[in-house]
Structure formats: C-alpha cells, structure tokens
Chains A and B, each alone.
Chain A
Amino acid sequence: MASDRNQSFDPTEDLRQAGLRLQIIYYIAIVIFAALIARLWYLQVINSDGFRDRAEANRIRVIPIPAPRGTIYDRNGKPLVTSKSSYNIVLSRKDVKDSEFPQMADLLAEHMEIDRQWLAKRFEDAKIEAKHESIVIKELASERDLAWVEAHEYEYPMIRAERAPQRLYLYGQLAAHALGYVGEVSPEELKKPNGDFSKEKGYKLGDIIGKFGIERKYNDILMGKDGERRVLVDSRGRIQPQGTIEVIDPVPGRDLYTTLDLDIQKAAEEQTDTMPAGRGAIAVMDPNNGEIRAMASRPAFDPNVFSQRAKTPEGKDEIRELQTDEERPLFNRVIQGQFPPGSTWKLMTSVAALNEGVITPTDNRIQDGGLQIGNYPMRSISNFGKPDIITAIARSADGYYYRLGLKMGVEKFEKWVNLFRFGEPTGIDLPGEYKGIAPTRETKRRSWSRAIKKAQQALDEASPGDKAAKEFHLRQVQREAEWTDYDMASSAFGQGQNASTPIQLLRYTGGLAMGGQMYTPHLLLRAAPGVDRLGNQQPETYYGDSNKFSVPMSKEIHEIVLKGMAGAVEYGTAGAARVEGFDVCAKTGTAQVASTDRVGKKNKDHAWLISFAPRDKPELALVVLTENVGFGSTYSAPRAKAIYDDYYRRTRNLPPKTEETKAENSSPGAGARSPEARTGLQDSQPRVQN
C-alpha cells in the first residue's frame, strides 16, 4: 500500500484507512451474530421438542402409589391373606449422585438401621432402571423413621416416606405352601426375555409380585394397578409447595376365592404339626370336581417374613435360614415331594389286571407269600394262602401282587400306568409341580442310557485284544437295562423305579372314588371382577378344568376297589382311619427309603395313606404322607381319621369330640394299640435294594 511506505502522517488518509478496517470489523460482527442466531434456530426451532421433553423430565417427578393386592379368601369367604396400609422409606435414585452415595449410605445406616452393604447393592441395581424411579430402602417404617424423614425434609429431599400396602398372612404358616408369598421382582426376572415377570410385560424394579404358590400363579389376578402422583420438583428434588400436579389413585387387585376350606385346612395343619420327624404332607380334595380343600406341608414357614421383614437384618437372616435349611421348609411336599407310592399302588395294579382280564371279578385267587425270582428272594410279610383280590387289597398282600404283576406282564401294566397318567404333572394351578417317575421300560432304559453309552464308547476305543471283554461288558449293561421279572413284581406293588407326588396320588384316589373320573386338582374357585394391573376391566373368572379325563372302570371293578378299600378300614391295614358313620375307604402304603444306612431316623420309611369318604357318595379324598416314621403305615391313618372326624361332625352338626378322646385318637401311637393296626404291620416290606 502506498501509505505504508509514506512516513509523513496524513490524518485524513489515516481516518479513511481506519474506516475501511472498521468495515471489516463490522462484517466480522455480522458473521458472528449470524452464527449465534443460526445456533439459536437449531436449538429453539428445529430441536425444541426434545429439549422440551427433557425440561419436563427435569421438573416433574412421578411418585408411584403402589396398589394393594387382592384379598385371598377361602371357599366360604373367610379372609386368608389381606393387605394392610403402611409406610416405606424410599430414596429418589435420580437425586443422589454416585459420588454422594457413600455419605448417604452412612447416614441411612446410622439413622434407619439399614444394612450398608445391602443398600449399596440396591443402589447399584437401580442403575438399570428408568431414572424417575425411587428405591425402597426400608419397609414398615416406624414412627421414629417417619419423624426423622420429616425433620430432614429440606436437608435430604431425596429421602421420602411413601404409603405402601403390606401383605398380611392372617394365619401365619397355615396353608403357606399353597398361598405362597410375595416379594420384590428381582433384576434377573426383569431382564429375562419372555419371562413371566419381564420388563416387556410391564414389570419394574420395586414391584411386589407373587414369588410362590397362589400368589405367583395368580399374580395377574391379585396384582392391582399402581397409581401415581406427579409433582413439581426443583433441581434438588424438593417437592414444590402445592407442587402436586395430578394424582392417579391406585386400583386394588382382584379378590381371589380359593377352593380351600379353612376348617379342613386347620384340621390338616393340626395333623401335620404332630408328625414325628417334622416332615410330611396332607392334601384334601373334593373328588367330585378336583377342588383342593386343604393342603399342608411340613416343615413350613411363615410367609409374613417375606412380606413384612424382608428388609430388616433379622428378617433377612430368617429368610436365609429358610432358604438354606436342609429340611427345605420352602419346598411344597404335596406337589414337589416324590416318593415311591408303595402299596397305595396296588389298586392301580388291581384295576389294570381286572380290566385286562388277567383276573376276573369272580376268578381272582392268587398265591400269596414270598417268592424267588432268579437270584433275588422277594420276601412277603403276609401269607394269606390264596386270597381273593378284595382280601389282598384290604390286607395288603404283597405276594399276591408279585404274582399278579408277573401274570399281567409289562405291556398291559404300562398301558395302565399311562392311562392313570402317572409320571405326568397333574397340572395343579401352582408353580413348580414335579412329575414323579412312572415305572415303565422307558424309564428304566433312560436311567441306564448313560452307562450303555459309556460302555459303547469303551468298546469303540478298545484295543483289539480288549475288544471281547468290552463287548461282554456292553452286553451286560444292555441286559441290565432290560425290564426284568423282578422289576415287574416290585413295580406291581408300588416299589422299584417308581415315584409319585402326593398330589398325583390324590388325583388317583379321587379317580378310584369316582369310578375312574379324574379331575385336575386346583385351588382357584373364582376371582372377583375388577381391574387388572394393566388397567383392563376383567369379568368374574372361574377355574376351567381343561384336563379332566377318565380311566375305564366298570361298575363291577369299581365295586371291587370300594370293597377292598372299605375292607382295609373295616378289617385290614387301615383300621385306624375308621370314622363311625362316615364309611371311610382307605389304603395304606410304605414308601421305602433306599439307603445303605437304615439306622438313622432320616432313613426310616415314609407312611402313606390314601383315602376317601363316604364310600358311596364321596365328599372328600385325602392323602397323608408321614415321612420317616419307620416301619408301618399306622402313623398316617389316625391323622386321616382326625380330619374326617372333624369334618363329619361339623357338616352333620354333631357335637365336637371331647378333648381326651380327640387326643387319644389323633396321637400317632394310638392306632398301633388297636387290633386292626397290628395287621397293618403286614404292609409290604420286602427288604431288597434296587
């Protein structure tokens, strides 16, 4: 530029040049402002919706109001499980920064007596959750806790007290296994795709769901629709004065009427309570429709632990104890205990043999007594010479059934095992039912399949010199897997590779009572109409039995079954179950405990009793299992008697028994002193292992 080289200063030229440079600054200013306005356009016009949502999420907090679960009643409308109102202390997850958490945990541990480690885990788990959720840190808050929270409202706005209904099991451990218990849905359950309680199905952390029993099976009926409170909060999570924008009231879950009868249930509980080993089960059903009247399993638990004390250190210890106890109190023996059915099974064999024409109603005398099959001696305690089938049932003649089984053969036998649907779950409306083991050739083959495979492999890999020995071994194993006469004889009277759950035997007993008509055992009577957890209106719901079936049984054959079982009570092995005027029919059984060590109490045999009454128009079917009482079925029959007796007197409006007679008749030893019971000792007891 010309002026650049000119050292003399010209004010006019200077201002002219400065003016040009000022113009440049002006353009720079315009460019900068254009950029800022473009950015504002981008934020406020193009993307405003997203930011608006985020601003809303910032200022509105949704506080859930949990809905109480529906009440569970017995069949007569007596409440068994209710919900009561209480308070939870919750921590607003969003308002606690990770870095602040340790300090917060110390504070809570100190003032609320909350376990610090548990709190840390809970805080961690909540990270997978939607941000507005709050986490429950203490249930059943005390007055003191509530006062503390209120006093520190301003200082710690993230800690709040919220109303929460608490599940109350009115009778403690009564019917605990049937009713089940509730608890918070676990993160694992939430994450499981297609799980019953997955996030996709609308469950969220903190939801109280059924964990076991009816509570779990009918969770969709019992769970209500949670309400919510939408409130305005500031950046520290403090709810603003008059900050409630909207309250949606919770809708309680639907009431559920079970088939249980509180009176029968109480009687059954009383009888299970006195079982000598503290283990056993009683189940009562209406054979006319499969409705379960009572279900008791021992050892038991108090479901209130799970609903009310799950977050206190003592409650946590209690729950841990329940879960790790070797006696397995959380295990529902009625549907999860699998035991050899023993002599209760003889009726199955009888019905099969009569139907298949192996014996006939008029020609059915078979030799009783011990038997030698190959190298195996099969002892029989009984020897009634050549009894007829009714005597064989009533007096439980083992030898009779060894020979009857052998005479019938496995094909026919298997056909009837399958017709009675042993080895299949009954489909009772409870989660976790086991299916038992059916004594069939398939079962035996399957139990040997691994050994055969191993032997086959050994043969394939064997050196030429070793081949013969390996081949011999394979053939030996294959032969072992084959059905033998010994299997046939022991299966015919309920031993061998044979296991049933009490509920399977109960359905079977109902079928025997009803001349072959089998109903699915169930606990749901009806559910009241109402709103489900997703807000849909639901009509009154009844149980629909889609799985009932019948086993072919002619009137003649049914008559033999009835006579045999009535005979067992009148003059046979089940005399202790007799109730004057009620015509109880029953069959005892002993489930052998297969063990090399028979000395300990734990390895004593289990005593079965299957029964129904009255004989001609059955009202109840009842199964008693008393575990590890040792030799004899005399431990179960008196328990059935006590329950029948109570029921009979109540329904016929008779005066209740006096205390003394009641005690005498229901005590386990009482039956053993009666003459009938002594014959009961002749129940099947072959001392062989398989």
Chain B
Amino acid sequence: MVNVNRRYVADFDWTLFSLALGLAVFGVIEISSVQPSPGLWRRQLVGVGIGLVLMFLITLHDYRRILNAAPYLYAIGIALLLLVQTPLGKEVNNNRSWLELGSFSFQPSEMAKIFTLMLLAYYLAGVRKRPLDLRTVVVAVGIWALPTALVFWENDTGSALSFTSFLAAMLFLAGVRWSWMAAALVAVVIAVIVVAPRIKNCETYKCERVKSVYWPDLAKKRYRYQNEQAEIAVGSGAILGKGPRGSTQGGLGFLPEVHNDFIFAVASEEWGFIGSSLSLATYLMIIARLIQIARRSRERTGMLLVAGLAALLLYHVTVNVGMVVRLLPIMGIPLPLMSFGSTSVVATCFGLGLAISVRLRRFVN
C-alpha cells in the first residue's frame, strides 16, 4: 500500500489512463448511438466507472503482493467456469459463457483470462532458468490448458484461443528455446495446411464462418450476411463517416450484435476512416505503452505480467477488428474497452491497473 502523495500522482501513468478512458467513453457514445434507449449505455457507463475505480485501487497496491494471490484467483476463475455449466449458466447465441446471479450476469471467461495470465506470470517468474526446461513448459501449458478446455466447452472458440495468445508471448519472453518456438510455428503452419482444405467441405457453422471470409462462394448465404453487412457498414462510412447517430447499418438493425462485437463497425460507419484509424492507433499506443512498461520493469514478474497483458490486448483488437473488416472469421470476441459488456471492461481495467502498478514500482526493487 502506498500513500496517494505527490510522487504517486506524478508517477501515475496518466497517458495510459487517458488513452483507455478515451476509448471507453468513445465506446459508450457509440453504444448510445445505435441503442438510444438509455438502458444499455448507462449500464456500460456504470461498468466503465467500476472498472476505473478498480484500476485505481489496484495501482495503490504492489502488484507482487496481488500476484501472491494468483493461485487462489486462478482457482476462483476455474470454479466460475465450472459454474457456467450448472443451471446457473446461461446460453446465448450457441455460447454457454454467461453466469446469471439474480439480475446481474457476467462472463467468467473474461475474468479467467486475467487470472490465468497472473498465475502464469507468477509461476514463470519464479522459475529462475533461461532457457526454460521442458518441465516448466509442461506446467505452464497445464495452467493454460485447464481454463482453455473449459472455455472450449462453453463453445466460445474466440475466447478459448485468446488464452493461447498470452501463453505464447509469456513462454517466449520467459526464455523458451528458439528451436522450440520455431518447431511450434512449423506445427501451426502444417496444421493450417492440413485443416484448410477440410474446412471447404465442412458445413458446421464454424466452418461456414471461416468459408464466408476466405471462400465466400462456398459459404451459405446466411453466414455471409453478417460479414457483408459489417463490410457495408465500414465501407459506407468512407473517409469522414456519416456523423454521430448517422449509422444506418447499425441503427436500422442490419448489423447483428451491433453494440457488442460489432461496435467497431458502427464507429467506422459514423466516423469514417479518420475515426476508425484513430481508434486503432489508440489501441496500438496502449499496446506500445504496455510493451514499454514491460521493458522498463526491473524484475521478471512485472515484465511477464505486463507483456502478457499486451499480448492479450493485441489478440482481442486483432480478432475483433479483423472480423469486422472481413479479414478473420466471425468469433464472439469483444473489442476491449469499447464493446458493450461490463465484465470485459472491468477485466481490462483490472489488467491495466496491474500494468500501472508495475510502472509505479519500476524504480523500487
């Protein structure tokens, strides 16, 4: 615990905070634009508020002390993921990824990501070996595999794959041999080569979603619809956009899940290339800032923790924007800070709070 004194105020990462706040506010504006009834955007505003408070609270604590609780948090995350499969869970759009507690519902997978990331940082930082030995890698993969499997069970492929993003980044940074990295990369390439032709003939909805991006002629029309409408939304925004509340693709309901996974499409429609590229640049600045914090960290725990967060953020932005602009198949992945969903916003703020905490303590050691 540190006192909120002049030094804290001076050292606090106002840049990172401002960038995140800007995106969150932009998100609320866009949600209110396509869902003008106050219910949704007010809820989002509350989520952002909670997130920011949590972020400040986290920064007041030493991240290493928080990380000491990582095994327990991890256990809680796993428990929540299991709870989703009980009658308390709720199925939305084929995905069983919601927990409903009274009028309050949230997505345990969003929390589980951060907790798993923390446990990996905690564990890998404690292994004082470079390069990493096989045993360490196996344990790390074990930590990763459990929540990943549970999220797969939810049928939430996008979120399940997000665990891989920070596992890979953290193993890489913790010192996996180059040869192992290369082998993993080759394995991925081979897998893609083997799987791709099979997808062409496969007709499950997941395959259809892949086909509608890469082989649109083979895909069924109703699966192409979302991609096409998102493309129309983004493209019709042109350079300057249609202006605030000008979204017809989102506003008139041509885009599904518009306040949620497709919020970036609405932003692109209303603010054009200027708006879409500026918000992407903001995300890049946040990620760059995180990477800088990781580099400046004087010890392994903070470095791994913040780098993992950067990788997770990079994954989310890439997959979400990639699916909106039809470069990647549609997966139920929220755009951090902007998409509607308190769990995602709070989890992201929690992560950013940890990062700021790491930065605040970069000279202490």
Residues from 487 to 517 in A contacting B, C-beta threshold 8 Å: none
Could you list which residues of chain B lie within 8 angstroms of chain A, going by C-beta atoms? 128-131, 169, 172-175, 177-178, 222, 229, 231-239, 248-249, 252-254, 268, 272-273, 276-277, 280-281, 283-284, 287-288, 291, 294-295, 297-300, 303, 307, 310-311, 314, 318, 321-322, 325-327
Cβ contacts under 8 Å, A52 to chain B: 235-236, 238
Contact A9 B273 (CB under 8 A): no
Stretch at the interface among A147-155, A229-237, A336-344, A674-682: A229-237
The docked-state distance in angstroms from the alpha carbon of A11 to that of B229 is 52
Contact B291 A26 (CB under 8 A): yes
- Give min CB distance, A319 to chain B, whole Å: 37
Contacts A32-B318, A58-B232; is A11 near B175 (CB within 8 Å)? no
Cβ contacts under 8 Å, A17 to chain B: 130, 175
Contact A39 B325 (CB under 8 A): yes
Q: Which residue of A lies closest to B313 (CB)?
A: A29
The docked-state distance in angstroms from the alpha carbon of A29 to that of B252 is 34
Cβ contacts under 8 Å, A59 to chain B: 248, 252, 254
Contacts A9-B129, A25-B291, A44-B268; is A18 near B280 (CB within 8 Å)? no
The docked-state distance in angstroms from the alpha carbon of A3 to that of B248 is 58
Contact A29 B314 (CB under 8 A): yes
Contacts A25-B311, A29-B314; is A14 near B130 (CB within 8 Å)? yes
Contact A234 B252 (CB under 8 A): yes
Cβ contacts under 8 Å, B238 to chain A: 44-45, 48, 52
Contact of B280 among A37, A48, A54 (CB under 8 A): A37
Contact of B239 among A32, A45, A233 (CB under 8 A): A45
The docked-state distance in angstroms from the alpha carbon of A37 to that of B233 is 16
Contact A41 B273 (CB under 8 A): yes
Q: How large is the interface on A (under 10, 10 to 19, 20 to 34, 35 or more residues)?
A: 35 or more
Contact A47 B235 (CB under 8 A): yes
Q: Which residue of A lies closest to B169 (CB)?
A: A25
- Give min CB distance, B11 to chain A, whole Å: 20
Contacts A4-B131, A44-B237, A48-B238; is A36 near B268 (CB within 8 Å)? no
Contact A40 B252 (CB under 8 A): no
Contact B130 A44 (CB under 8 A): no
Cβ contacts under 8 Å, B236 to chain A: 48, 51-52, 54-55
The docked-state distance in angstroms from the alpha carbon of A130 to that of B281 is 42
Cβ contacts under 8 Å, A7 to chain B: 129
Q: Which residue of B lies closest to A53 (CB)?
A: B236
Q: Which residue of B lies closest to A5 (CB)?
A: B131
Known pairs A25-B173, A54-B232; list 6 more (Cβ under 8 Å).
A18-B175, A33-B280, A36-B322, A36-B327, A40-B276, A40-B325
Contact B288 A21 (CB under 8 A): no
Contact of B325 among A13, A26, A33, A43 (CB under 8 A): A43
Contact B128 A9 (CB under 8 A): yes
Judged by a CB distance under 8 angstroms, whether A19 is at the interface is yes
Contact A30 B253 (CB under 8 A): no
Cβ contacts under 8 Å, B273 to chain A: 40-41, 44-45
The docked-state distance in angstroms from the alpha carbon of A1 to that of B249 is 55
Contact B314 A15 (CB under 8 A): no
The docked-state distance in angstroms from the alpha carbon of A32 to that of B281 is 12
Q: Which residue of A lies closest to B131 (CB)?
A: A4
Could you list which residues of chain A lie within 8 angstroms of chain B, going by C-beta atoms? 1, 3-4, 6-7, 9, 11, 13-15, 17-19, 21-22, 25-26, 28-30, 32-33, 35-37, 39-41, 43-45, 47-48, 50-52, 54-55, 58-59, 97, 232-236, 240
Contact B129 A29 (CB under 8 A): no
Q: Which residue of B lies closest to A13 (CB)?
A: B130
Cβ contacts under 8 Å, A232 to chain B: 252
The dominant DSSP class at the A interface is helix
The docked-state distance in angstroms from the alpha carbon of A80 to that of B307 is 87
Residue picked from B235, B321, B327, most chain A C-beta under 10 Å: B235
The docked-state distance in angstroms from the alpha carbon of A13 to that of B300 is 11
Contact A22 B300 (CB under 8 A): no
Q: Which residue of A lies closest to B239 (CB)?
A: A45
Contact A3 B130 (CB under 8 A): yes
Contact A22 B307 (CB under 8 A): yes
Residue picked from A28, A36, A236, most chain B C-beta under 10 Å: A36
Cβ contacts under 8 Å, B303 to chain A: 15, 18, 22
- Give min CB distance, A633 to chain B, whole Å: 71
Q: Which residue of B lies closest to A99 (CB)?
A: B222
The dominant DSSP class at the B interface is helix
Contact A55 B173 (CB under 8 A): no
Contact B284 A30 (CB under 8 A): yes
The docked-state distance in angstroms from the alpha carbon of A9 to that of B130 is 7
Pairs A–B under 8 Å by Cβ, sample size 23 = A7-B129, A9-B129, A11-B300, A17-B175, A18-B174, A25-B172, A33-B281, A40-B280, A43-B231, A44-B276, A47-B235, A48-B235, A48-B236, A50-B235, A51-B231, A51-B234, A55-B236, A58-B232, A58-B248, A59-B248, A97-B222, A233-B252, A234-B253
Cβ contacts under 8 Å, A21 to chain B: 172-173
Contact A58 B254 (CB under 8 A): yes
Cβ contacts under 8 Å, A1 to chain B: 178
Cβ contacts under 8 Å, A36 to chain B: 280, 318, 321-322, 325, 327
- Give min CB distance, B91 to chain A, whole Å: 23
Q: Which residue of B lies closest to A232 (CB)?
A: B252
The docked-state distance in angstroms from the alpha carbon of A185 to that of B172 is 71
Contact B300 A14 (CB under 8 A): yes
Contact A33 B284 (CB under 8 A): yes
Contact B173 A37 (CB under 8 A): no
Q: Which residue of A lies closest to B238 (CB)?
A: A48
Cβ contacts under 8 Å, A32 to chain B: 314, 318
Contact of A15 among B229, B300, B322 (CB under 8 A): B300
Q: Which residue of A lies closest to B241 (CB)?
A: A44
Residue picked from A26, A47, A55, A59, most chain B C-beta under 10 Å: A55
Contacts A22-B294, A52-B238; is A14 near B307 (CB within 8 Å)? no
The docked-state distance in angstroms from the alpha carbon of A240 to that of B248 is 12
The docked-state distance in angstroms from the alpha carbon of A44 to that of B230 is 12
- Give min CB distance, B254 to chain A, whole Å: 4
> 7 shortest A-B CB distances, which residue pairs?
A51-B235, A48-B238, A55-B236, A235-B253, A44-B273, A9-B128, A234-B252
The docked-state distance in angstroms from the alpha carbon of A4 to that of B132 is 9
Q: Which residue of B lies closest to A3 (CB)?
A: B130
- Give min CB distance, A33 to chain B, whole Å: 5
Q: Which residue of B lies closest to A43 (CB)?
A: B235
Cβ contacts under 8 Å, A3 to chain B: 130
The docked-state distance in angstroms from the alpha carbon of A54 to that of B227 is 13
Q: Which residue of A lies closest to B177 (CB)?
A: A4
The docked-state distance in angstroms from the alpha carbon of A36 to that of B323 is 10
- Give min CB distance, B167 to chain A, whole Å: 13
Residue picked from B252, B297, B318, most chain A C-beta under 10 Å: B252
- Give min CB distance, B220 to chain A, whole Å: 11
- Give min CB distance, A3 to chain B, whole Å: 6
Contacts A45-B238, A58-B248, A59-B252; is A22 near B295 (CB within 8 Å)? yes
Cβ contacts under 8 Å, B178 to chain A: 1
Contact B307 A25 (CB under 8 A): yes
Q: Which residue of A lies closest to B247 (CB)?
A: A55
Q: Which residue of B lies closest to A36 (CB)?
A: B321
Residue picked from B129, B232, B277, B295, most chain A C-beta under 10 Å: B232
Contacts A26-B288, A26-B291, A54-B232; is A11 near B129 (CB within 8 Å)? no
The docked-state distance in angstroms from the alpha carbon of A19 to that of B298 is 11
The docked-state distance in angstroms from the alpha carbon of A18 to that of B295 is 8
Contact of B288 among A15, A29, A235 (CB under 8 A): A29
Contact A11 B299 (CB under 8 A): yes
Cβ contacts under 8 Å, B298 to chain A: 15
The docked-state distance in angstroms from the alpha carbon of A19 to that of B318 is 23
- Give min CB distance, B214 to chain A, whole Å: 14
Cβ contacts under 8 Å, A28 to chain B: 314
- Give min CB distance, B253 to chain A, whole Å: 4
The docked-state distance in angstroms from the alpha carbon of A40 to that of B298 is 38
Contact A51 B232 (CB under 8 A): yes
